[in-house]
Structure 1
Amino acid sequence: MSGTLRVHWAITPKTAPRPLINCNRCGTVKAYCCSGKFRVNANGKRIDVWLIYRCVDCDNSWNFGILERCNRRDIEPALLAALESNDPALARRHAFDVIALRNRVGHVEEFPDVAVHKQRLGDTRESSTGLELQLRLEMPTSLRLDRLLANELGVSRSRLQALEERRLLIVDPEGAKALRKPARQGTTIRIDLAGEPDREHIILAAGG
């Protein structure tokens, strides 16, 4: 492809995953939301830390273990201060750790909504006949790659599939059914738009 527009997409998930827990107040399984607050308990030199979650219906609390019986000397002072001050960035990082949540409770409700910040790399635009999209994810997301591209480029998923079948859309690293899998950190998508009548519209939507 000649005249390829390269764009960096920084993708940030909007809604933290919610563990599904048997609420002893509601008497059934309920989704729990992160409160953004830590509970730090010191017992002598040992420290336990939890991230507090609340039932969406009755506000019952559930504690997600972060540190267990850790010696105070083994915890960086800056980390301990962040935990004790309920640092928002630290709480967000743990709240979006869906793997740790799954390991603890098994079932987790995930949300595909994301914010995409687009930054053009280089000056090529008017002469562009193709796109190179570089994905950078702040945290993992459950949003499928084809849905992300369809939403941001203003094209249908069936058209994306057709472009892939014609080898006009290539996902790197390539894999089976890559478009149908969640968007991943470090993925690069290359799209040849030379013969597409709405090329300018897609280029503009991509961040051109």
Structure 2
Amino acid sequence: MSGIVRIHWAIAPAIAPRPLVNCNRCGGVKAYRCSEKFRVNANGKRIDVWLIYRCVDCDNSWNFGIFERCNRRDIEPALLQALESNDPGLARRHAFDVSALRNQVGHVEEFLDVAVQRHLVGQTSESATALELRLGLEMPISLRLDRLLANELGISRSRLQALQERRLLTVRPDGAKALRRAAREGMIVLIDLEGEPDREAIISAAGG
């Protein structure tokens, strides 16, 4: 390898999971989308907080419980202010909490779409023949690493597998089985592209 292009990918899921809820207005199980609005109900010293969801077909509401009969003193003032002001970052964090959603409704519709922001680390050169990708995840995703790489680099999953078998593609820390697992925070993907005819196109697609 005569040179390595190092790029950081900041990865964020694009579509929040949708709980599948029995809609009493539609008369059947429907997907509900997050409204990004909280409902805060105070009764004396006790507070209940919900994240409001809406049926994708009829806009009927369903409340995803965040706090139930919680003592006001147990909630940090800054957090309470964020809830009451419908802080979008806080709403997003709860909307992507798949485990909590499943605990309340059982079935959740998930999406694999992600947004990737690319940041070149250090200098690069036209003679570079290797690519190092460092993955940073806003939150856990279900998208397999091979699908992520194929989508973002414009190459097939079978070619990625072939590169790995030729030991031209390595993943730290998960090793040989990493391509078939979900992309994770802190993963480092190193691809040796020396001799590959589309080397420049792949590096350009990566963000180099």
Q: TM-score, normalised by structure 1?
A: 0.95
Q: Structure 1 31/75 Cα, relative in aligned 2: closer, same or farther at 3 Å?
A: same
Q: Which runs of 5+ in 2 are unaligned?
A: none
Q: How far does the alpha carbon of each residue in 1:30-56 deviate from its partner, in whole angstroms, 9 at most, with x for none?
A: 100001110101111011100011111
Which contiguous aligned blocks of 4+ residues in structure 1 show a shift greater than 2 angstroms? none
**CA RMSD in angstroms, aligned pairs only:** 1.3
- The Cα of 1:175 is off from its aligned counterpart by 4.7
Number of equivalent positions: 208
Q: Does the 8 A contact of 2:153 with 2:205 survive in 1?
A: yes
Name the % identity.
79
Q: Which runs of 5+ in 1 are unaligned?
A: none
Give the distance between the partners of 1:102 and 1:180, measured in 2 at CA.
24
Spell out the pairing of 1:144-155 with structure 2 (5 A cutoff): 144-155=144-155
- The Cα of 1:180 is off from its aligned counterpart by 2.1
Give the distance between the partners of 1:125 and 1:112, measured in 2 at CA.
33
Give the distance between the partners of 1:175 and 1:31, measured in 2 at CA.
37
Tell me what 1:79 maps to.
79
Q: Does the 8 A contact of 1:125 with 1:203 survive in 2?
A: no
Determine helix, strand or coil for the equivalent of 1:177. helix
Give the distance between the partners of 2:84 and 2:17, measured in 1 at CA.
23
Q: How far does the alpha carbon of each residue in 1:143-173 deviate from its partner, in whole angstroms, 9 at most, with x for none?
A: 2211111111111111011111111111112
Q: Does the 8 A contact of 2:170 with 2:176 survive in 1?
A: no
- The Cα of 1:138 is off from its aligned counterpart by 0.8
Tell me what 1:163 maps to.
163
Spell out the pairing of 1:109-148 with structure 2 (5 A cutoff): 109-148=109-148
